[in-house]
Structure 1
Amino acid sequence: MSFVLLVIGLFFLVKGADFFVEGSSSIAKRFNIPSMVIGLTLVAFGTSAPEMAVSISGSLNQANGIVFGNVVGSNIFNILFILGLSAFIRPIGIKTKTIIKEMPFAILTTIALMLMVMDGIINGDPYSIIARSEGWILLLFFAIYLYSMVEISVLGKEEYVDDAIVLMKPLKSVLFTLGGIAAVIFGANLAVEGAIDIAQMLGLSETLIGLTIVAIGTSLPELITSVVAAKKGENDIAIGNIIGSNIFNILFVLGISGVIYPIDIAAENFVDLWILFVSMVIVVPLMFTGKKLNRFEGAIMMLGYVGYMTFIIIRAI
């Protein structure tokens, strides 16, 4: 029954995020908000809504393992499996500005998170804590990041065109938006409840469940978005979706979760942060080779994720 609750919860999370993006984007378009701003805010928020909802629900239930595992596990899944699969489907051309501006910022946010939890590791404590004050710091940096992205796009006159935004009738737009939010919240509660029950039944840690089933489930919007973009040859969307989601997850999702309730992180899970950091650092040189990620490199990245999954499962046994 717990597994059924988890699956149903993940379904509501993914579909709710879709409805929210469609409804809110339609409302924004009706008020003549530029497509670029919609893409950088509402669409980015929508694809990361499942991670956010699950982490907030986890914080309220003091399920720290799921909060941490969901964010770090999703980021590793994004950078290794989703980006690797997208490149395997169709080689992804990389613009230099993506490497110079966005990828380093994503790496820096990971380093910042590592520094926040390093104090407990250095002191030899079994747990490190992301305190409320650190949660506020992460949220502050997220606000600065979001503002800078919009400002750079506007000043640089960069266009974000999304012809997929359908202008709905006002009532339908509102219903889609509110219904999407409700579905995400409902799905998050079911998913967290199911994940906690599964962990307790199987004698597994909440962190392991968060790093695997929950992380993959909440990353489905990013998976669908990037794979579809890769098939269409829309490289900027395919890779921008991944990098933006990773930044959003650390700065906003962990930030707001830490503000709600301080997050305890087990010392052994610092290894997962290192794996995330190393994965991102390794991907950068791959991007420089021919300024693209080819199918072979994509396959290697996916195999790397399989190796990581094997490692954490063996670690839990």
Structure 2
Amino acid sequence: MTDAAHTAATRVRRVADGAAARFKLAAAFYTGDRIRYGRAELSFLRWEIARGVLNRPTGDPPGSPWWRAVNDRLLRDKTEALLLADGHSGEPSTRSVRLWGEFLRRPSPAAWYRAHNASIITGYLENDTLARSELPAERFMMNVALVRVLYAHTLVARPRLALGPFAPLGRLLGDPRSGTVGLFLDLRRAFPERYPLRGLSAEYLIAAEGPLPRALDYGIIVPRLVPLYEFAAESLALPGIEDLISDGTPCYAWPPRRSHWHDATALHLSSRLTAYAVRQRA
């Protein structure tokens, strides 16, 4: 019998070029008492499919090699962990697979985020070269997506870091089983639902961002970027996380331009008010 890692890789290759089959494999992980944990991940996957980023790179329209590779990593890790739990031979091939195994043994929101974010960050780090071949607007979006999912983890694991005096709300807002987590992980409110983002700049995406995601990004998350990445490095223990931020600015496949993240003139009044309220101490 082939080991779990080989079987998982084979299954992911089989679904790579079919959106429905890819979604089915992703959803197969979430059964029984785990079914609600798939809510946030599968919603994001639907968004990826709708954008077309998971299409074949040679398709019409073509997909994104980077988005496909990151999603492949997530699928392989989950599938391998589930196969191991079901009795297939082998040991976890990566730390992220091991964390998915821990989630399967003792499901919790914090355990889900540790496993999910370990897979996603591993995908980011493994595919830096592919990321650099994407358009600038797409690379900016990659950083926003990463920041959002890191922040969602802190909501349930370090709510005081995430929300200051509103910490008691953290576990409710960040629970992957609830609809509220979509406020943080749903990028449809912030970015165009198409691919590729030809003719668009990061500056355009920032200016076009709606009031709610703008308040979230600039009013709540940006002031916490450094401790946010420090928490990710501490909780996930994956080499390379420290290279995803520079001088307090996300920089994955992207120059660390503080103007995109720290420009006070870009904040709406709602952002300023939110930032002020959250920074207060109870």
Structure 1 length-normalised TM: 0.35
Structure 2 length-normalised TM: 0.38
**Larger helix proportion of the pair:** 1
> Which structure is higher in RCO with an 8 Å CA cutoff and minimum separation 6?
1
